[in-house]
């Protein structure tokens, strides 16, 4: 099979041995695979794939057809349309996923949308609901809302009856984010739009102090992106006064059973919203597999709304 391959930091497409499904695993012919920020980090050697994932093939999500079931795999059959997060190796013609982490693809989703759905919607759902306990009526802030996780979070917050504010650095993207259901604002002085019950931090430490100050009593900050900086000062007295929570989270390093739980949560709580047309997967641009290097360049250039997705015939 052919696969995107990281060679000394360069993105190339080359032949690899076909993977084989082990116990409980599915072999999937990949039809679409989204790009994520973690791929960019992995390319620079800063986010190695976890044990058990291909070390040199990036890709944290995919959608495609089941072509073979490993021993004991019973949730899906050959030909089923599935989508899944993976620890790595998603950007390839064939990939192996564990059946407990895979989800069915709703009819409403075409391949690019399905390939760009799992990572960002699972991440956003886990962060907002499992980690932060977002509830209806709450005031929610998303930092860096124009990207994949951001656009997912805005829509999920809106769908459950939260009041969503979103910071978007690129002014030209704010109308599109507003169209997803948020009040879209510039990052500067965001605290004046608070207080917020839940803050989803996709940008990093530079927002930390203002996040704490903008928190409502009992508010929760969940940090899942730190591209703009990892270290920041925090005033613990302010956090106590708010009875606030600061939590860090990642999806990739979790063990199989925890990833499977996130997939069940998405199946129960998010797929019905997709089927009811209350959510959409914003796809900024698709690239065929052979143009993977261009896709990476496009991702790193920024200024996009939603996902960059590789497609495979």
How far is residue 170's CA from residue 26's CA, in Å, rounded to a whole number?
40
Neighbours of 253 (CB within 10 A): 10
Nearer to its own copies, 41 or 178 (CB): 41
What is residue 224's three-state secondary structure? coil
Q: Give residue 208's Cα distance to chain centre.
A: 21
Contact pattern for its own copies over residues 99 through 138, marking x by CB under 8 A: ----------------------------------------
Which of 37-45, 111-119, 172-180, 233-241 is the region at the interface with its own copies (rule: CB under 8 A)? 233-241
Interaction between residue 245 and its own copies (CB under 8 A): yes
Burial of 163 (0-12, 13-18, 19+ CB in 10 A): middle
What is residue 219's three-state secondary structure? strand
How far is residue 60's CA from residue 207's CA, in Å, rounded to a whole number?
27
Nearer to its own copies, 160 or 205 (CB): 205
Interaction between residue 14 and its own copies (CB under 8 A): no
Minimum Å gap between C-beta 242 and its own copies is 7
* Contact status, residue 222 vs residue 132, Cβ threshold 8 Å: yes
Q: Which of positions 143-202 make contact with its own copies (CB under 8 A)?
A: 201
Pairing, β 196-201 against β 139-143: parallel
Helix (H) or strand (E) holding 43: helix 37-43
Minimum Å gap between C-beta 147 and its own copies is 17
Helix (H) or strand (E) holding 284: strand 283-288
What is residue 36's three-state secondary structure? coil
Nearer to its own copies, 194 or 306 (CB): 194
Nearer to its own copies, 107 or 257 (CB): 257
Minimum Å gap between C-beta 239 and its own copies is 3
Indicate which single residue of 232, 260, 285, 293 sits in contact with its own copies (rule: CB under 8 A). 232
Interaction between residue 213 and its own copies (CB under 8 A): no
Indicate which single residue of 230, 257, 301, 313 sits in contact with its own copies (rule: CB under 8 A). 230
Indicate which single residue of 243, 290, 297, 302 sits in contact with its own copies (rule: CB under 8 A). 243
What is residue 220's three-state secondary structure? strand
Which of 6-14, 71-79, 102-110, 220-228 is the region at the interface with its own copies (rule: CB under 8 A)? 220-228
How far is residue 123's CA from residue 31's CA, in Å, rounded to a whole number?
21
Cis amide bond preceding 272, omega within 30 = no
How far is residue 203's CA from residue 227's CA, in Å, rounded to a whole number?
6
Indicate which single residue of 244, 259, 296, 308 sits in contact with its own copies (rule: CB under 8 A). 244
Indicate which single residue of 204, 274, 308, 312 sits in contact with its own copies (rule: CB under 8 A). 204
How far is residue 72's CA from residue 24's CA, in Å, rounded to a whole number?
5
Query: In 3D, which of 150, 132, 129 has the Cα closest to residue 216?
Result: 132
Minimum Å gap between C-beta 178 and its own copies is 28
Indicate which single residue of 14, 77, 247, 264 sits in contact with its own copies (rule: CB under 8 A). 247
Nearer to its own copies, 254 or 280 (CB): 254
What residue ranges bind its own copies (CB under 8 A)?
A: 201, 204-205, 208, 223-224, 226, 230-250, 253-254
């Amino acid at each position: 099979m052919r696969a995107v391959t990281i060679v000394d930091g360069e993105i190339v497409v080359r032949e690899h041995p076909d993977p084989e499904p082990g116990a409980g695993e599915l072999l999937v012919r990949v039809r679409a695979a989204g790009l994520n920020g973690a791929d960019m980090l992995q390319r620079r050697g800063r986010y190695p794939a976890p044990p058990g994932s291909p070390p040199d093939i990036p890709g944290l999500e995919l959608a495609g057809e089941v072509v073979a079931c490993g021993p004991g795999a019973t949730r899906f059959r050959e030909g089923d349309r599935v989508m899944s997060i993976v620890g790595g190796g998603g950007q390839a013609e064939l990939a192996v996923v564990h059946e407990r982490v895979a989800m069915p693809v709703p009819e409403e989703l075409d391949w690019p949308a399905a390939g760009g759905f799992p990572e960002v919607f699972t991440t956003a759902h886990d962060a907002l609901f499992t980690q932060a306990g977002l509830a209806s009526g709450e005031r929610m802030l998303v930092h860096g809302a124009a990207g994949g996780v951001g656009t997912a979070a805005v829509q999920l917050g809106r769908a459950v009856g939260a009041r969503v504010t979103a910071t978007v650095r690129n002014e030209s993207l704010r109308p599109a984010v507003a169209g997803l259901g948020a009040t879209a604002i510039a990052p500067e002085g965001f605290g004046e739009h608070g207080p917020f019950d839940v803050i989803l931090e996709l940008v990093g430490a530079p927002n930390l102090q203002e996040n704490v100050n903008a928190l409502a009593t009992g508010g929760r900050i969940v940090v899942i992106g730190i591209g703009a900086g990892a270290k920041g000062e925090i005033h613990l007295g302010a956090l106590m006064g708010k009875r606030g929570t600061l939590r860090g989270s990642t999806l990739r390093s979790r063990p199989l059973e925890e990833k499977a739980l996130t997939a069940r949560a998405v199946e129960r709580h998010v797929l019905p919203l997709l089927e009811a047309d209350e959510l959409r997967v914003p796809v900024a641009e698709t690239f065929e597999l052979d143009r993977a290097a261009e896709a990476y360049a496009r991702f790193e250039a920024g200024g996009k709304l939603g996902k960059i997705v590789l497609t495979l015939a």
